[in-house]
């Protein structure tokens, strides 16, 4: 894995970072909020259950939580966050009046990143929070570097596979549709043979940029799947939406008008396969980690190629 250059490591806190403050005592939440004003977006919860709900709605960059609360305790919330793949990287600071070593050991076992003693001291709270936010930002940068394709700047296959699994789980929980596209550059070996690999790389970069521009929602993901193949993950998208996005990608690549003298059409084109499923209607396609959905899209990709390339696969071949 290529690490980001040290000069790109975060040194200043990002005002867009989100802090979730959790305590069943509203006055204690207000005290922490005053201490942390200006360090990021502050959100509040008065119970462990509310904290988990807010975290699932929008993952925070840091959680500060009281160790002992009615219902779910701070340690139980911390363990639940740590066990959730979507939230496992969120650091948790336990706020506690306990000073025993056993209490700290239990907190670290639950996944806590640090502790703050009660009553909180502003300078200590700010220093510990700043440290955790910087570590979170650096960790995010490292993870992003490991999940990015070096040639196109899109997400890589590893990121696509991770997000596909995550979105399958999310769709199963919420009953939402999930769709994906597989995009293959037509006659790309001929392109490399005719123009050379340097030009081939430049072509893939342009195709990747066009695909990224074609998808408009922040939650959609464009990735280089391997070689001259790309993939697009489309949460909360039904079959009609997937088919429409597939055609948008075909049209976007066609609009580039990149010459391809070794192709019958004389220009770079793509073939696109798509698949969409809902957990209640297509349980087999939502099975395992999303492999069945990929296989369905791959069959439509094959159909697009069999029908002459440069188009969307309209049906899976029988």
Which helix (H) or strand (E) segment holds residue 165: the answer is helix 157-174
C-alpha 286: how far from chain center: 19
DSSP string of 93-128, one letter each residue: EEEES---HHHHHHHHHHT--EEEESSP-HHHHHHH
State the Cα–Cα distance between residues 293 and 181, nearest whole angstrom. 10
Instruction: Considering the candidates 57, 100, 104, 228, report the single residue annotated as catalytic.
Output: 228
Rounded to the nearest 10 degrees, how much is the dihedral formed by the CA atoms of 85, 86, 88, 90? Answer: 170
Neighbours of 70 (CB within 10 A): 10
Angle 188-195/197-214 helices, nearest 10 degrees? 140
Q: Kindly state the tokens that stand for 133.
A: 């936010």
| Torsion sign over Cα 204, 205, 207, 212 | positive
8 A C-beta contact, residue 227 and residue 300: no
49 as an active site residue: the answer is no
Q: Provide the pairing of β-strand 270-277 with 178-185.
A: antiparallel
DSSP-assigned beta bridge partners for residue 271: 184
Q: Which residues are catalytic?
A: 228
């Amino acid at each position: 894995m290529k690490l980001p250059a040290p000069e790109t490591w975060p040194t200043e806190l990002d005002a867009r970072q989100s802090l979730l403050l959790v305590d069943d005592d509203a006055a204690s939440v207000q005290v922490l909020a005053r201490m942390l004003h200006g360090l990021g977006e502050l959100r509040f919860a008065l119970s462990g259950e509310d904290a988990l709900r807010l975290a699932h709605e929008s993952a925070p960059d840091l959680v500060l939580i009281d160790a002992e609360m009615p219902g779910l305790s701070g340690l139980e919330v911390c363990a639940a966050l740590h066990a959730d793949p979507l939230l496992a990287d969120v650091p948790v600071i336990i706020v506690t009046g306990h000073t025993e070593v056993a209490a700290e050991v239990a907190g670290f076992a639950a996944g806590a990143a640090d502790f703050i003693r009660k009553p909180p001291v502003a300078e200590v709270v700010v220093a510990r929070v700043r440290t955790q936010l910087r570590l979170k930002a650096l960790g995010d940068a490292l993870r992003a570097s490991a999940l990015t394709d070096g040639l196109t700047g899109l997400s890589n296959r590893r990121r696509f596979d991770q997000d596909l699994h995550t979105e399958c789980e999310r769709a199963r929980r919420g009953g939402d549709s999930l769709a994906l596209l597989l995009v293959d550059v037509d006659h790309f070996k001929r392109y490399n043979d005719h123009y050379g690999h340097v030009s081939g790389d430049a072509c893939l970069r342009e195709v990747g940029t066009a695909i990224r521009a074609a998808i408009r929602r922040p939650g959609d993901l464009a990735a280089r799947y391997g070689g001259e193949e790309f993939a697009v993950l489309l949460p909360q998208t039904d079959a009609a939406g997937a088919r429409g996005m597939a055609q948008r990608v075909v049209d976007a690549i066609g609009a580039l008008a990149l010459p391809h003298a070794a192709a019958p059409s004389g220009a770079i084109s793509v073939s696109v396969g798509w698949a969409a499923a809902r957990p209640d209607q297509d349980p087999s396609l939502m099975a395992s980690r999303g492999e069945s959905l990929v296989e369905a899209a791959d069959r439509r990709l094959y159909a697009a190629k069999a029908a002459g390339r440069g188009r969307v696969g309209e049906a899976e071949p029988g």
